[in-house]
Amino acid sequence: MSLTRAQIDIVRSTAPILQEHGTAITSEFYGSMLKDVPELNNIFNQASQATGRQSTALAGALFAYATHIDDLGALSPAVEKICQKHASLYVQPQHYEVVGTYLLRAMGTILGAALTLDILEAWKVAYWQLANIMIKTEAQMSQKTDEWRDWRQFRIARKVPESSEITSFYLKPCDGEALPAFLPGQYISVKTDVPRLDYSQARQYSLSDAPNPNYYRISVSRHYGLQVNDSNAREHPGYISNVLHDDQKEGDLIAVSCPAGEFYLDVASPSTAPVVLICSGVGVTPMMSMLNSLLARQATRRISFIHRARSTAVRAFGDDIAAAAKKHANVSSVVFIGTPVAGEDIHGMHYHYAGNADLGVLDKERDLCLDDERAEYFVCGTETFMRGMGESLKGLGVEQERIKMEVFGTGPTPL
Q: Does the annotation mark 138 as catalytic?
A: yes
Distance CA 292, CA 285 (A): 11
State CA 233 to chain mean position distance.
Answer: 23
> Which among 28, 138, 162, 165 is annotated as catalytic?
138
* DSSP code for 3: P
Distance CA 295, CA 303 (A): 10
Question: Checking DSSP bridges between strand 253-256 and strand 152-161, what pairing results, if any?
Answer: antiparallel
Distance CA 170, CA 165 (A): 17
Instruction: List, in sequence order, every residue forming a beta bridge with 207; answer none if it has no partner.
Output: 218
Contact 159, 249 (CB under 8 A): yes
Contact 179, 243 (CB under 8 A): no
281 φ/ψ sector (left φ>0, alpha ψ -120 to 50, else beta): left
Residue 66 makes CB contacts below 8 A (sequence gap 6+) with 11, 12, 14, 15, 18
Count of CB atoms situated within 10 Å of the CB of 150: 10
Helix ranges (DSSP H) in 112-174: 117-143
> Which among 30, 90, 96, 170 is annotated as catalytic?
96
Contact 146, 180 (CB under 8 A): yes
Q: Does the annotation mark 65 as catalytic?
A: no
CA of 159: how far to CAs of 114, 162, 244, in Å? Answer: 55, 9, 10
Catalytic residues: 96, 138
